[in-house]
């Protein structure tokens, strides 16, 4: 019994060393947090039965399902030229508000798209559209990017004071970062220029509900 347990421990240790994926590293942290109380319980239960239960729980933690981001990262470790996986990873990272990693994934996807587009023009155009949509999604979700866009639109409306769409953009961007008073002020200017501006009226309803 003791020999089998030692073999299991050795196998787990070798796998951890050879496959240091982020998912595995997270499991190591979990095991370190729980190893002391589990070991204490093993001693309480006594001898081989307690140790066997500890090993069972240890192995079970490694069999716990991985999330979508971890699965996609593992796929890219196997094939870093998989453009669809880079795009899928970027989308998942954006949904999880991991903007820096999402930007890296998008940059890699864009580089691959440029590399592959001469071989397939149609695929290149389609993929480029997806990449641009994800970049835009990132810019309008990341608070740091939103602040840069606000600065840009402020310069635009300063030069074109009757640009209703510019004021609407400022209202939307300020609304996204919870600057509601600034959003209301920009929205009022947009509606002064065009009282029938449908998109501005939609945002006005949202702001009046706050």
| Share of residues in the chain with pLDDT > 70 (%) | 63
Q: How far apart are CA 67 and CA 109, in angstroms?
A: 21
- Confidence band (pLDDT; 50, 70, 90) for 10? low
| Bigger pLDDT: 205 vs 10 | 205
Q: How confident is the model at residue 113 (pLDDT cuts 50, 70, 90)?
A: confident
> How far is the C-alpha of 147 from the C-alpha of 144, rounded, in Å?
5
Q: Quick one: pLDDT band at residue 122, thresholds 50, 70, 90?
A: very low
* End-to-end CA, the chain: 66
Alpha carbon distance 14, 71 (integer Å):
21
**What global pTM score does this model have?**
0.57
pLDDT confidence of residue 67: 85
- Rg for the chain (alpha carbons), in Å? 26
pLDDT tens digits, 124-149: 566 788 899 999 999 989 999 999 99
Q: Quick one: tokens of 65? A: 């399902």
Q: What is the pLDDT of residue 206?
A: 86
| pLDDT of amino acid 195 | 94
Angle ∠(19,74,25) on CA atoms, nearest 5 = 45
For range 161-171, the mean pLDDT: 94
Q: Can you name the CATH fold of 143-208?
A: 1.25.40
Fold classification of 68-139 (topology level): 1.25.40
Q: Is pLDDT at 93 greater than 50 in this prediction?
A: yes
- For 156, the token pair is 């635009």
Question: Per residue in 17-52, pLDDT tens?
Answer: 455 555 555 555 555 555 555 445 445 545 555 556
For the chain, percent of residues with pLDDT exceeding 90: 49
Please state, as a whole number, how many other Cβ atoms lie within 10 Å of the Cβ of residue 171.
Answer: 29
Are 164 and 180 in contact by the 8 Å Cβ rule? The answer is no
SS3 60: helix
Q: Which two tokens stand for residue 129?
A: 């559209």
Query: pLDDT, tens digit, for every residue of 53-72?
Result: 556 555 554 444 458 899 99
Q: What is the pLDDT of residue 207?
A: 85
């Amino acid at each position: 019994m003791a020999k089998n347990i030692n073999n299991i421990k050795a196998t787990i240790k070798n796998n951890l060393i050879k496959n240091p994926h982020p998912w595995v590293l997270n499991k190591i942290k979990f095991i370190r947090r729980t190893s002391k109380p589990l070991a204490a319980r093993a001693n309480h239960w006594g001898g081989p039965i307690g140790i066997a239960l500890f090993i069972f729980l240890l192995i079970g933690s490694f069999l716990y399902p991985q999330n979508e981001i971890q699965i996609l990262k593992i796929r890219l470790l196997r094939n870093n030229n998989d453009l669809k996986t880079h795009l899928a990873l970027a989308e998942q990272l954006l949904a999880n508000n991991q903007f820096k990693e999402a930007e890296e994934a998008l940059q890699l996807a864009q580089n691959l798209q440029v590399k592959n587009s001469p071989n397939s023009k149609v695929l290149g155009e389609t993929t480029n559209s997806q990449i641009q949509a994800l970049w835009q999604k990132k810019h309008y979700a990341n608070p740091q990017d939103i602040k840069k866009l606000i600065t840009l639109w402020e310069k635009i409306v300063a030069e074109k004071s009757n640009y209703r769409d510019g004021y609407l953009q400022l209202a939307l961007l300020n609304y996204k970062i919870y600057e509601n008073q600034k959003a209301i002020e920009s929205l009022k200017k947009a509606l002064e220029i065009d009282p029938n501006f449908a998109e501005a009226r939609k945002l006005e309803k949202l702001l009046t509900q706050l």
